[in-house]
Structure 1
């Protein structure tokens, strides 16, 4: 935590220094994306310097490393400038944030490409391997944060974030170049009893890269652990919310269906829902469906039959969602929804007849049996002393709160049980 605060204080101090320059960039018309693009071009220049050093210098010439480090720091300055230009110039945008992130990744990969090329060309094979591992760690530090934030979890902690990586490479590359100038590029230190050298001039540059290879990957792993905790907490909260929503659904059904006692029906055209609800189609053995504000997602009750067309006596009804608000996909009820809201319990009455009741309101009996008219199974209930073959149940909700929705009425649409060709609708005010 203290390291984060120190980092923030340093960043604020740097901003105070560069803000006059930032205002100058804004005055001449540079946009944040232009500044980001300049940073990419400069990092391409870094790679070019290292490639030239690989091709034109000898193993003991550290000057190219020094100049490459200087350009790394200069390019890193533009990485800070683009954000400040966006903030001070009131030019922040979502695309700008994406553009900055993408070009930062390109910049870093191009820079490491040049470094790895230089190290391989001068036969620092082990160091080139660590440089490549540092590149992997750098990418994973950034990717872990981006992916976690995409899932709604903040993930900013850890060492070796991009500013630290830029400063580490830039400073120690310059230090390597300066050291090579004063003590020579072939300087080596040996310890008694050890046949190989334990330090050389190039180590000023390669040892920090080796340390970076370790720390970047540790940071990526720690961010992954941090994201795991955040996502698990998020899932627990979502589960609680889902449970609450299911309990509300149970309350709605209890409130709505509980009104299906003999009461005065209201006019059919009063207070229609502003939503245009779809009619489920193409669902084999559909019995009836249930809809309610504030969306078009629909509960479908379907006759549960085996491959021979026989009704499953243990569970004669299948209940599932048609998620019309989610591309119309079919989805099973959750455990909470099945046990406390939309699930249906059944009782075998014999002779192919079943008593059905919603788990959320068991006071309203419904009956599943074959119609004498079409010899197919339908669900029947007595509504306002009228026996009805149910097609649709609708709960009109208008306002209210999450826990106390304002249910205006329940509408039941179906057919006269005695004369199925006769359709009618009962609307009961709550």
Structure 2
């Protein structure tokens, strides 16, 4: 059962209240982008009120702060209205989401510009510094989420998200303005022995902003930490390739090259991988191995012998990992890897010869048979009109995404079956 947070319940309650108004906006033809623009204009109005307060009022006159707070809450209402207009009016769009995010950032920066201007003008220098830090934290809370989501990571947690910031600034500014009229704008509390006051009327507004300066940046750092954990987990999954989709794409690219989708590049040493790959040593009955960016984990294809030393006709090849990127341990393929990616299907052809096909691309035949030279079993493949006694397959990946890696080339290394000389054939996309 999915739990609903207090924040979500409160949001749903607000939606119930504003939905009739939202439907009215839809009826008069107001679009979500128009509502977003109105929100920006109102926040510009908030900044103007703070600037007027800085220029036309004295330090103890807090009326402008109170009126600015009321306008902050009214402008903040439009943050909820634009989304609801889009949803209820069936007018959601990708550009609308982008437009809303961009104008929200402008609105918040303009709001803090007005606050900082007011505080500096009335010589609240320390408070203006914290307001500036709160502005930085506010931007980083939003940016961290946007950047993480751009990398495919959900990053929504933490305190002092935009609604909380708007409500905090708005309510505290209103209280500051009201209390300025009740107890006076110059009211101060001192502790004997301290050269400065510990509280004044303006503190009703500046203390919450100081707290916001800490909380917004803590939220941004926590989001960064959570995103790192999620990305590390994603990288681990990618390095182990347990998800069939990325592996299938990689191998289908590899095997698809032999069907005519690549340009032959013989003895091309350009664009090598920055990774230093190990050469498997002491692998019993190894036939060939497959390596690829972005790590040194290696897929081993080995001859499967029965107890009497003969090839098992039911399963002539064993396929497994050598986890060089971890502790160098041997590890079986996962079910997905075996059934959809690195696994092979075999067919006995007679005379100790077997046809081998990757499960990810069954159009490409490889052949397992004894060599007429050393009388041992080897795997052979046709590439660029050459028959290769296969030793290594390397897939060079450079960039791309987790789901669609950018495969630059596939390199086949082994012996020319005819001349028994070393051969490297590169197939480039």
State TM-score, norm by structure 2.
Answer: 0.63
Once the two structures are superposed, residues 10-32 of structure 1 have per-residue CA deviations (whole angstroms, 9 ceiling, x without a partner) of: 10110000000000000001111
| Equivalence for 1:312 | none
Query: Is contact 1:320–1:333 with CA below 8 Å preserved after alignment?
Result: no
Once the two structures are superposed, residues 51-79 of structure 1 have per-residue CA deviations (whole angstroms, 9 ceiling, x without a partner) of: 11111111111011111111100000000
The change in CA–CA distance for 1:381 and 1:201 in structure 2 (over 3 A counts) is closer
In 2, the alpha carbon distance for the partners of 1:169 and 1:178 equals: 14
In 2, the alpha carbon distance for the partners of 1:275 and 1:251 equals: 12
Residue 187 of structure 1, CA deviation: 0.9
Query: Is contact 2:189–2:198 with CA below 8 Å preserved after alignment?
Result: yes
| Equivalence for 1:409 | none
Residue 238 of structure 1, CA deviation: 2.2
Residue 159 of structure 1, CA deviation: 0.7
1:36 and 2:36 aligned:
yes
1:390 and 2:372 aligned:
no
Residue 129 of structure 1, CA deviation: 0.1
Tell me which of 272, 285, 293 is aligned to 2:267: 285
In 1, the alpha carbon distance for the partners of 2:216 and 2:56 equals: 31
In 2, the alpha carbon distance for the partners of 1:168 and 1:221 equals: 21
Give the alignment of 1:233-252 within 5 angstroms.
Answer: 233-241=233-241
In 2, the alpha carbon distance for the partners of 1:35 and 1:366 equals: 76
Give RMSD over aligned pairs: 4.2
Query: Is contact 1:246–1:337 with CA below 8 Å preserved after alignment?
Result: no
- 3-state SS of paired residue (1:335): strand
- 3-state SS of paired residue (2:241): helix
Query: Is contact 1:367–1:381 with CA below 8 Å preserved after alignment?
Result: no
Tell me which of 335, 348, 365 is aligned to 2:296: 335
Once the two structures are superposed, residues 175-234 of structure 1 have per-residue CA deviations (whole angstroms, 9 ceiling, x without a partner) of: 111111122111111112222111111101000000100111111111111111111222
Query: Is contact 1:381–1:389 with CA below 8 Å preserved after alignment?
Result: no
In 1, the alpha carbon distance for the partners of 2:262 and 2:213 equals: 59
The change in CA–CA distance for 1:214 and 1:417 in structure 2 (over 3 A counts) is closer
In 1, the alpha carbon distance for the partners of 2:247 and 2:111 equals: 56
In 2, the alpha carbon distance for the partners of 1:237 and 1:334 equals: 12
| Equivalence for 1:21 | 21
Give the alignment of 1:170-189 within 5 angstroms.
Answer: 170-189=170-189
| Equivalence for 2:210 | 210
| Equivalence for 2:146 | 146
Query: Is contact 1:115–1:131 with CA below 8 Å preserved after alignment?
Result: yes
- 3-state SS of paired residue (2:240): helix
| Structure number with larger C-alpha Rg | 1
Aligned length: 309
In 2, the alpha carbon distance for the partners of 1:199 and 1:120 equals: 18
Unmatched tracts of structure 2, length 5 or more: 273-288, 302-318, 320-355, 359-365, 374-378, 391-415, 420-429
1:100 and 2:100 aligned:
yes
| Equivalence for 2:6 | 6
| Equivalence for 2:78 | 78
| Equivalence for 1:296 | none
Give the alignment of 1:234-313 within 5 angstroms.
Answer: 234-241=234-241, 277-281=260-264, 283-285=265-267
In 2, the alpha carbon distance for the partners of 1:382 and 1:157 equals: 53
Query: Is contact 2:381–2:387 with CA below 8 Å preserved after alignment?
Result: no
Unmatched tracts of structure 1, length 5 or more: 257-272, 288-299, 301-318, 322-330, 342-357, 369-379, 394-414, 419-430
Residue 239 of structure 1, CA deviation: 2.6
Once the two structures are superposed, residues 312-358 of structure 1 have per-residue CA deviations (whole angstroms, 9 ceiling, x without a partner) of: xxxxxxx999xxxxxxxxx86853456458xxxxxxxxxxxxxxxx9
Query: Is contact 1:188–1:197 with CA below 8 Å preserved after alignment?
Result: yes
